Amino acid sequence: MEAYLQENFEVQSKNSSEEVLQNWRKLCGVVKNPKRRFRFTANLSKRGEAAAMRRTNQEKLRVAVLVSKAAFQFIQAGAQSGNYTVPEEVKDAGFQICADELESIVESRDTKKLKYHGGVTGISEKLRTSITDGLTTTNSDQLTKRQDIYGINKFAESEVRSFWVFVWEALQDMTLMILGFCAVVSLVIGILTEGWPTGAHDGMGIVVSILLVVFVTATSDYRQSLQFKDLDKEKKKISMQVTRNGYRKKMSIYDLLPGDIVHLAIGDQVPTDGLFISGFSMLIDESSLTGESEPVMVNSQHPFLLSGTKVQDGSCTMLVTTVGMRTQWGKLMATLSEGGDDETPLQVKLNGVATIIGKIGLFFAVITFVVLVKGLMTRKRQEGRFWSVSGDDVMEMLEFFAVAVTIVVVAVPEGLPLAVTLSLAFAMKKMMNDKALVRHLAACETMGSATTICSDKTGTLTTNRMTVVKTCICMKRKEVIRNADSSNFFSDVPECVPKMLLESIFNNTGGEVVARRKRRKREILGTPTETAILEFGLSLGGDFHKERKACKLVKVEPFNSEKKRMGVVVELPEGNLRAHCKGASEIILANCDKVMNSDGEVVPLDEEKSKHLKDTIESFASEALRTLYTCIGIVGIKDPVRPGVKESVAVCRSAGIVVRMVTGDNINTAKAIARECGILTDDGIAIEGPDFRQKTQEELFELIPKIQVMARSSPLDKHMLVKQLRTTFGEVVAVTGDGTNDAPALHEADIGLAMGIAGTEVAKESADVIILDDNFSTIVTVAKWGRSVYINIQKFVQFQLTVNVVALLVNFSSACTTGNAPLTAVQLLWVNMIMDTLGALALATEPPNDELMKRQPVGRKGNFISNVMWRNILGQSLYQVLLIWILQIKGKWIFGFKGPDSDILLNTLIFNSFVFCQVFNEISSREMEEIDVFKGIWDNHVFLGVISCTVLFQFIIVEYLGTYANTTPLAPVHWLFCVAVGYLGMPIAARLKTIHV
Q: Which residues are catalytic?
A: 456
Length of the chain: 997
**Segments of 11-154 assigned E as strands:** none
Within 10 angstroms of residue 727's Cβ, the number of other Cβ atoms is 10
Secondary structure of 393-420 in the HEC alphabet?
A: HHHHHHHHHHHHHHHHHHHCCCHHHHHH
User: Please, where are the H alpha helices in 728-866?
Assistant: 743-748, 761-766, 776-818, 825-833, 839-843
The distance of Cα 974 from the centroid of its chain, to the nearest Å, equals 50
Neighbour tally for 501: CB within 10 Å:
25
**Which residues lie below 8 Å from residue 170, measured CB to CB, with a gap of 6+?**
33, 36, 176, 213, 214, 215, 217, 218, 221
- Distances in whole angstroms, Cα of residue 895 to Cα of each of 754, 900, 908, 971, 977: 65, 15, 13, 11, 10
Which of the 8 DSSP states describes residue 584? Answer: B
Non-local CB neighbours of 980 within 8 Å, separated by 6+ positions? none
Give me the residues paired with residue 249 across strands: 242
The CB-side HSE value for 518 (13 A sphere, CA atoms) comes to 6
Residues forming beta bridges with residue 638, ordered by sequence position: 467, 625
Phi (first) and psi of residue 190, to 5 degrees: -60, -45
Q: How many CB atoms lie within 10 A of CB 60?
A: 14
Core vs surface per residue 773-782: b (16+ CB within 10 A) or e: ebbbbbbbbb
End-to-end alpha carbon distance in the chain: 17
- 173 vs 179: CA distance, rounded Å: 10
Cα separation, 809 vs 365, in Å, equals 11
Among residues 465, 462, 463, which one has the least CA distance to residue 674?
462
Is the distance from CB of 214 to CB of 170 less than 8 angstroms? yes
Backbone phi, psi, residue 995, to 5°: -80, 120
The answer, yes or no, to whether the previous bond of 197 is cis (omega within 30 of 0) is yes
Angle at which helix 391-411 crosses helix 345-382, to 10 degrees, equals 160
